Structure 1
Amino acid sequence: MVTLLNNLLKLRRKRNSFEIIRLELEQYLSKKQLDFIDELYENNEVGLALEFICSYIEDNDISISKVLYELLKDYMNQLSLVQNIEFYNIRVDKL
């Protein structure tokens, strides 16, 4: 798992962080929700997209992978959002 996380973080440096997060989200969200997130991203509303993602995960009590959690946390910290990942009550899968 640590190797996977490190590989994804290296890949993130080569690709857009949001693209990596979106790929991870495909297992949790519907196509309609993913399209909505894409639209927010394309309109430069990345912070709003991340807030939607975290709120949806929290509201639906979805347990996400440690990899996705770390990617969201890292990206939210990069953007210096007022509400970071710790603001949300998000469950993370145990290894």
Structure 2
Amino acid sequence: MTYKFLVSGKVQGVWYRRFVSENAKKRGFKGYVKNLPDGKVEAVTNIENENRLKEFIEILKEGSPYSFVENIEYEQIPDIKFNDFEIRY
């Protein structure tokens, strides 16, 4: 299953994408994270089950030391297969 997340708060210009990417890779997630023009960050990843969904949300909530996450919205989207986790620009 593939999920798309929209993260709002102080999440741009604070090493947030790098934090998410590094921690997602360490835990074996595949997908991407990128900044959006409206100040939010989008993350899309493959999630196998409910426990993995909770684990990825925890990564998004924690963020970098300089970030502040106000809200996380997510939805299941049509499947996309990823080979790695990357930062997109």
Q: Which has the higher contact order (CA 8 A, sep 6+)?
A: 2
TM-score by length of 2: 0.33
TM-score by length of 1: 0.32
Higher strand share: 2
Q: Which has the larger radius of gyration?
A: 1
